[in-house]
Chain A
């Protein structure tokens, strides 16, 4: 008996108090037909068995209520309708009557007497103890101070020497790099010169202007260009001048 079958939660605390069933029997009067509605006990045998012998009777619809002593739902096993003889059972419905004792298991509701608040399980975490780590012991082991100082001085000397070597090497590399740069520049200039020499500019020298002379064809009417005094006056004001200057940058 599960939640899917009953349509209600089947937690501890539910008792079945009865079964109501109905079904329709289709048969001929003269035929033997026996119908048993039953529910197995999970432990052994049956919780109930209700048998109707329809032998020699008219088939029709039957509805019965089977009262049961309060039976914990955990004990109720598979239910079935068993038939023997000639006939059929149609439109069968089986309803279980129940009561719900929520506090039978106090853990069902925190308001039930005896409810024990659930304490979450705390996972066991291994705490790293650096004091028990051999590597840490080795690293923190006490050392000979003089030996340490001597090693330190040697290290310093070695480091200075290495730095000095590096500087020298850098200088040497810089000198060779400069030489290469100069050489490259000279080479490029030489290449450009060669390219220019190869360019044929003779066609420009041999071109001839028709007529040989370009004469002035524009004549100035009146023969004199007079300054625009209005404009001059206007431009002489700082404000307009400044505005024009600013407009160049907008």
Chain B
């Protein structure tokens, strides 16, 4: 009987162990992916500053400068804004102790569809940046003008050396 009780106790313990909750194992499973932008930006023409006088750098062709041209391609309509900014500082230059007055402009010069002819009129400006809603799939060419005048209105001569400035072009998802 005692043996039977012992066996019964063993089974009871075994049964209890089956009924008791186990320890839970957890694992993080990663999901990867990438988004191919439907908007790309290319430089069609690099810009060049002309130096018509000692205190001015300009991209105007009349002053031996060259306006940069940026091409924006989008394969998806109404998905991106193109935001183009003319420079407001030099990326590299000799040491400049005085202030520089920056002016510039961005304009659509060519499109791949007549339906894009309203892009310029539909654009908005914020400071040096102009934003174009890309409502048509296709290609748009933007031309940027830039001018820097040194001396804070006193027309001081730029120090001799090499000057570089950047136009910033972005595709920003709407």
Contact = CB atoms under 8 A, between A and B. Distances in A.
A60 interface: yes
Interface of B: 108-115, 117-118, 120-121, 139, 141
Nearest to B109: A61
Interface in A51-76: 52-54, 57-65
A173 to B, nearest CB: 108
Nearest to A57: B117
Nearest to A27: B117
B111 A62 contact: yes
Interface residues of A, number: 14
Contacts of B113: 52, 62, 64
A83 interface: no
B86 to A, nearest CB: 20
Contact of B110 (A52, A53, A62): A62
B110 A54 contact: no
Interface string A208-237: 000000000000000000000000000000
B114 A54 contact: yes
B16 to A, nearest CB: 76
B114 A53 contact: yes
A63 B116 CA distance: 11
Nearest to A58: B117
A54 B112 contact: no
A88 interface: no
B117 A60 contact: yes
A173 B141 CA distance: 116
B104 to A, nearest CB: 20
Contacts of B120: 58
Given A53-B114, A61-B110, 7 more contacts: A22-B110, A57-B114, A57-B117, A58-B118, A63-B112, A63-B139, A65-B112
Q: Which 10 A-B pairs have the closest CB atoms?
A: A52-B114, A57-B117, A61-B110, A58-B117, A54-B114, A60-B117, A63-B110, A64-B112, A57-B114, A62-B111
Secondary structure call for the B interface: mixed
Contacts of B117: 54, 57-60
Contacts of B112: 62-65
Contacts of B114: 25, 52-54, 57, 62
A144 B103 CA distance: 125
Interface of A is mostly: strand
Contacts of B139: 63
B136 to A, nearest CB: 12
Nearest to B110: A61
Contacts of A61: 109-111
Interface in A19-66: 22, 25, 52-54, 57-65
Contacts of B121: 58
Nearest to A53: B114
Contacts of A62: 110-114
Contacts of B108: 60
A120 to B, nearest CB: 54
26 contacts: A22-B110, A52-B113, A52-B114, A53-B114, A54-B117, A57-B115, A57-B117, A57-B118, A58-B117, A58-B120, A59-B117, A60-B108, A60-B109, A60-B110, A60-B117, A61-B109, A61-B110, A61-B111, A62-B111, A62-B113, A63-B110, A63-B112, A63-B139, A63-B141, A64-B113, A65-B112
A25 B110 CA distance: 11
Nearest to B114: A52
Contacts of A25: 114
A58 B121 CA distance: 9
A58 B114 CA distance: 8
Nearest to A22: B110
A51 to B, nearest CB: 9
A59 B117 CA distance: 7
B111 to A, nearest CB: 6
A206 B141 CA distance: 133
